Chain A
Amino acid sequence: GAVVSQHPSWVICKSGTSVKIECRSLDFQATTMFWYRQFPKQSLMLMATSNEGSKATYEQGVEKDKFLINHASLTLSTLTVTSAHPEDSSFYICSARDQGRREGGEQFFGPGTRLTVL
């Protein structure tokens, strides 16, 4: 299947700092990417839809000014957690849909980024 990478795989930061997470589709182009957050022992929660060349669409309850999303190219989306606090500690996962595949398409997920805010 297609490959989606994330960088970094884990990060530890101090409270109040900002952290940028990159999501790349390595062998296909994706006009749309998605960002999820997962707390321990819980399911994935969709945070936002990242659209290439336009503003992201955020799910209800997700602060767009805190979680900045940029989708500057067909293979890269970034999520910046601004002024991070301990409650932002979570597993952040991105996905991208390979629109060139068969009808219905599959979404491919990155390996995730574990953020720990001290």
Chain B
Amino acid sequence: DAKTTQPPSMDCAEGRAANLPCNHSTISGNEYVYWYRQIHSQGPQYIIHGLKNNETNEMASLIITEDRKSSTLILPHATLRDTAVYYCIVHKIQGAQKLVFGQGTRLTINP
């Protein structure tokens, strides 16, 4: 699976949109972009995933660039409960299906 690069930490004000970037310049055509987050001392929580089209669900939006070499996770109205480590993972859906976690971005939402 392709490697991803994320900033180690970010801050965002409560109520504002949080935009978390991820670079995956070596992504291949059959790899999806997945986002998970982990709140302290809990298991990771699935947020969203996509292949090439932008995606939106009740939690977030995922914007993937046309060349698919980078993406942005958008939390439209961040709350204090969104404080967590956010992981961007590039992953093939065929084969071993295992997810390999990088270091992620520690997002802190400030009141």
What 13 new A-B contacts, CB under 8 Å, besides A43-B87, A46-B98, A110-B43?
A: A34-B99, A44-B44, A44-B101, A46-B100, A93-B43, A95-B44, A95-B99, A103-B93, A104-B93, A109-B44, A111-B43, A112-B41, A112-B43
Main secondary structure of the interface of B (DSSP, over half): loop
Interface pair A34/B42, CB less than 8 Å apart: no
For residue A106, CB closer than 8 A to chain B, the reply is yes
Interface pair B43/A43, CB less than 8 Å apart: no
Given A91-B41, A109-B44, A104:B32 Cβ within 8 A: yes
Q: Contact check: which of B32, B42, B93, B102 meets A111 at CB < 8 Å?
A: B42
For residue A71, CB closer than 8 A to chain B, the reply is no
Query: How big is the B interface, by class?
Result: 20 to 34
Q: Contact check: which of A43, A49, A95 meets B102 at CB < 8 Å?
A: A43
Q: Contact check: which of A1, A34, A104 meets B98 at CB < 8 Å?
A: A34
* A108 CA / B34 CA spacing, docked (Å): 12
0/1 interface trace, chain B 36-71, chain A, CB 8 Å (1 if under): 101001111110010100000000000000000000
Interface residues of A (CB under 8 A from B): 1, 4, 6, 32, 34, 36, 43-46, 49, 57, 91, 93, 95, 97, 103-112, 114
Chain A residues positioned under 8 Å from B101 (CB to CB): 36, 43-46
Name which residue of chain B comes closest to A31, CB basis: B97
Interface pair A43/B103, CB less than 8 Å apart: yes
Interface pair A107/B41, CB less than 8 Å apart: no
* A97 CA / B97 CA spacing, docked (Å): 8
Main secondary structure of the interface of A (DSSP, over half): strand
Closest Cβ of chain B to A46, distance in Å, is 6
Chain B residues positioned under 8 Å from A97 (CB to CB): 97
Q: Contact check: which of A6, A32, A43, A109 meets B97 at CB < 8 Å?
A: A32
Q: List 5 A-B contacts (CB under 8 A).
A: A4-B43, A6-B43, A43-B87, A43-B102, A44-B44
Given A34-B98, A103-B93, A104-B32, A43:B41 Cβ within 8 A: no
Instruction: Pick the 7 closest A-B CB pairs, nearest first.
Output: A109-B43, A44-B101, A106-B46, A109-B44, A43-B101, A104-B32, A112-B43
